[in-house]
Amino acid sequence: MPRPAALLAAAAAAALLGGCTQATTTNNSTANFKGEQRLVANTVEDLQSAGAKGDQGTICRQLLARDLVVRIARGATCERRVDAALKDTDTFDLTVQSVALAGTTATARVKTENGAKDKIATLGLLKEAGRWKISDLGR
């Protein structure tokens, strides 16, 4: 499993929030999607937003799947690990390029803009308690 910093930087998915809900956000990358695909993209946008605000509580409690929270914590708290990762992250500029759905799981291909070296990551998501949550921070 990637370190939390790598996970948040690569996924930088730092956008999921825009308000902590799965409503439509103003980010252009979600405008290309409809229905469940848009809800998945909104989760990524919400992660980006929460990351940019340094809101590790929202990230851990609302945007990450329970299993991922447990894996990230590893003897500490999710909030503490995510806080350290956010401090190591230089950019929170994410663009959702594509979304693939498979029942209650999804993948989102996300571009992280980081100067001359953009990175592409694939995030895993699952529907948990009626909302899309990030279950894998980058492959």
List residues bridging with 124 in a β-sheet: 107, 136
Instruction: Indicate the pTM of the whole model.
Output: 0.78
Per-run averaged pLDDT (10 residues), the chain, 139 residues: 43 33 47 95 93 92 94 88 82 86 97 79 95 89
Rounded to 5 degrees, φ, ψ at 42 are -60, -35
Q: Is 23 exposed, middle or buried (0-12, 13-18, 19+ CB in 10 A)?
A: exposed
pLDDT of residue 94: 84
Rounded to 5 degrees, φ, ψ at 107 are -125, 145
Query: What's the topology of domain 4-136?
Result: Nuclear Transport Factor 2; Chain: A, (3.10.450)
Domain ranges of the chain: 4-136
